[in-house]
Structure 1
């Protein structure tokens, strides 16, 4: 499984101890990803020193590794507290390696020795998007022009996954912490541990393990590209507002950023959503266009949401040409209290549902 935390990309592959061992030469050829000797990893991280530790994810620590010649990589050292086998590990590595796009993080290699399993990926010096937009000090480094470029980059990356890549992929865990920023602040989508490949022209598939979709569809074991579209809409609203989707809002009836934004839209005060840090740099027309697109992406009925192809087109449209968004699910606390038997996507977005079976 691939996990991204606020300090950078973290690939977490669940591994069964009984499956561990050195990969054969045939395995390495099939993976078609550079294999690094474990001793090189130890040297590059100075024996996994605390000075080189970038952070701690749920499934193990990540370190900065500096290799001969000055090459820098992020080194994920897998924790033994996991349950996925060698076969799943190989499939995961193969999937990530086949996805090549400027707005996707690149896997650079892997290593294995005894019970140690490690993944290496490009080092992202500016870490993750959420680190900037939700920090009142760092957010000033993201003016509107830069935020709009980041929005465009995320949209292009998702379009590639849904339509243009050799593999048709549904990410299923899009969020600000899973968008990394390189040295030039270009966004790169990471965390493909929950990703699912769908066949041919399909836009929907089934699963019994990880779900990031509305509860009614989750119970039936289905997810689709429209789940990623919903998540993109949430990220868009977060980038505009500098607020997390969950949290306290001035409007006491709002229980999420989605419902807060919808309330402002209905009150004809959409620009009140704007992050104060953008007051001087914002292009009000672009901000309003992005807010409308964000609300279109989080509409309750997946059929009403645009595809990522549609999103890219709308990002260049006149506002007058955009359709009016329909209501997202549960736009008020009162509504939520009156219907306790249903869980909306804005709530599901904060959860990962899993069973005990491996993929």
Structure 2
């Protein structure tokens, strides 16, 4: 039986690492690339020195400053990050043209048939990491496996500068032992719901039938059923048309209080902002999705005359929530989605996003 050879490459604290590479005074100190605390800014990337204080992407800059008063805030230079990303991409192309970028700093590579005839995905990953280090003076972490799901998780296991291989004979045991919160695609709310159902690891999830998972989680139950058995047939796609970016959460217990709903929507908005920032796009339409306890669903849209900037997503989302006809009914799900992208406009406005 032949297996695909998939590599997931993820740059280590990419924006912050580029800044520390280009400015020696930033090295060895906690820095945040993002907006200023007094301007309602958001953390785009934190250096590893800053992460030691609990600072992470999508956190408010004000919160980051509270956690580490001496942290240095650096304005993002997206034109530089894009240029470096292109250099990284050119390194990938030495080995394969089957590349699926997820953002400026991470991508999937299918090296089942590599250009140089190396044959070993592990050796290719080593060569890519070494080229990035010697030519660009940056570090990357890589995960190697036979499918995208496992490769993605593997790349995060030994950061920074890590390389993790999960071979076909180890995949099921690896996923069975994996804590639910480590599953790519399972957020905090879903993990909490699973924990309430005594599902803490992949092995616990594996005990449930497909029908049971569908009843508990809807159509995503199919994905959970397959993935916990090491089944992920998604190909590495060289082109994907981006139509929308969003996030949603199904709550462990239905929510009714306005303050609770606003708090949850703020968290969802932060995730949307992080994904927009990672994709380097802005959209003009924001959609609020509300699903009630009886599974009835409504959506409300807002379309801006130009583009909705990152620091406006939360505020516009809250406006939509306040105007929605909820009438005190219990709510089981909230979601926000940004669409109607204008890539050219968003690139022109990147430097003002923060």
- Mark yes or no: TM-score above 0.5: no
Task: Please report the TM-score for the alignment, with normalisation by the length of structure 1.
Answer: 0.25
Q: Which has the higher strand share?
A: 2
State the TM-score, normalized to the length of structure 2.
Answer: 0.25
